[in-house]
Copies of this chain bind each other. A is one copy, B any other.
Amino acid sequence: MSEKQKMDHSRRQLLKGGAALTLAGIGGAATLPVMAGTQGKVQTKFDEIVDIIVIGSGFAGMSAALKARESGDSVMVIDKMPVFGGNSTINGGAMAVAGSPLQKKEGIEDSVDTMVADMLEAGRGMNDVEMLKLVCNGTAESCEWLTEHGVKWKPFVQHFGGHSLPRVLQTVESSGAGIIRPLIKAAKKAGIDMRNQTKLESFVKNDEGRVIGIKVRDGFYFPRNKTGKVRLFGASKGVIMATGGFGRDIEYRQMQQPKLTKELDSTNHAGATSEALKQMMLIGANPIHLDQIQLGPWASPDEKGFGTASQFNTIATYPSGIVVDSRTGERFFNELADRKARADAIMTRRDEQGNPVYPIGFTNAEGAKKAQTLAWGLKYKVIQQAETLDELAQLYGIPAKALKEQVSRWNKAVSAGKDREFGRPMQKAMKLDQGPWYGVRMWPKVHYCMGGVRVNTHSQVLHLITDKPIEGLFAAGEATGGIHGASRLGACAVAEGVVTGRNAGQMCTQSKRVELAQA
């Protein structure tokens, strides 16, 4: 453009829309450092400018940042917490993959369609099928991409609840840290600008309504709201929201689900709150399924948070043991059902006053051999060891005779390859024929938000009214809504985070760059 053309262009812009600078967010009375042009044209001046800003540093955020950086764009990752990784570092590190080499090695025939069907069934048909297909379709490639970045997997696949067959890979650490650490290392090596204690306050949009940056609090001390210095960061290609769920935001989750009181614990880290979601909604993001909040059915009331039992029950008790009502010694649900079915079943166990009667899950040494948290659970007495079933019954106040009869019935079902009582899939079922036994008291905890903002398959956040993209705004992972419907299957959060994160990163790099002004 010549100087003359530029001036004409500027005049046209001015005639078209006026000079409004829009800083979305509550109140709207923010004062911004602006530069008045010769004819009243106003332009935001940013403290720092990059191509792409990623908010959140969990699976979705780190995957988005790396993928975007691979294309040569400058990328900044911000996280409000003092440590990176969010929930992802305390996650179990299990990833559902449709058609992995490990499945082939074990002779398990899987497909993208099968995984989609499993997730649709768990989601009670409420799933966003296009996004669901995108996720399942991307699992094999994304898993390989993680491996290339140094993630190490256990050499076998597992059968998690609600999946019709074994398809779950898990990091050797049995933790999401086994994914997050290599990704952060790769990000630093690639020159991605990683900023902790930096919190999104609101979005900055230009005259056309495109998101061109964010207002942040730099040096933020969670959860003290007004801490940190207010600064403006520009994103000439776009902002990617990888801001997770709100499972630890007790006030907000109770607005949607009044029963999820503060008495009900959560597996989430303290930063799993709702501010970022709300900022998106204030600029027109379309919220989907906000009241679909998942309870993890493998948690124990005998420890705080995710703890040792969640992993133990996922890897040992559920696939290789059984769960009984402590009053009757009898099973009462399919231990490989989806999470919602299992959590709902467990929470029916109450006394006449409505207080929980914690069911007992148990397996034996053979079933527990792959569970790395066994020693810790025993140390903190969350898991208890018993040499005989009589001793186990005594430990938990279960009628011993009934318990032994239940174990005998279970062993017959394993021999028959069929669970006539509760329809549990028996491909990897194991007889419970000798001790030592390991027991856990069980009660669900708030674990995952199926709800979030509506996105398209380009990971663009869609506007509530137009259902068209809010330009410059992308979202991935738990921050989005609809992929899982009413209930997410286990190991599908890692899958979703990595696949949609990489997708968002790629799509954002393809955005048209807008010129921004430095302060």
A-side residues, CB < 8 A to B, are 17-18, 20, 22, 26-29, 125-129, 209, 251, 255-259, 275, 278, 281-282, 284, 286-292, 454, 463-467, 482
Contact = CB atoms under 8 A, between A and B. Distances in A.
Main DSSP-derived SS at the A contact region: loop
A463 B288 contact: no
Nearest to A207: B29
Contacts of A258: 125-129
A356 to B, nearest CB: 15
Contacts of A18: 29
A282 B464 contact: yes
Nearest to A486: B291
A495 B296 CA distance: 37
A28 B17 CA distance: 10
Contacts of A26: 284, 463, 465-466
A314 B289 CA distance: 30
A28 B209 contact: yes
A334 B289 CA distance: 29
A282 B470 CA distance: 14
A478 B291 CA distance: 18
Contacts of A282: 284, 464-465
B17 A22 contact: no
17 contacts: A20-B28, A26-B463, A27-B209, A125-B259, A126-B258, A127-B258, A128-B258, A129-B258, A255-B288, A256-B289, A278-B465, A282-B465, A287-B287, A287-B290, A290-B290, A291-B291, A291-B292
A122 to B, nearest CB: 14
Nearest to A454: B255
Contacts of A256: 126, 288-289
A18 B28 CA distance: 11
Contacts of A17: 29
Contacts of A292: 291
Contacts of A454: 255
Query: Which 8 A-B pairs give the minimum distances between C-beta atoms?
Result: A26-B465, A125-B259, A278-B464, A289-B291, A278-B465, A17-B29, A287-B287, A281-B464
Contacts of A288: 255-256, 290-291
Contacts of A22: 28
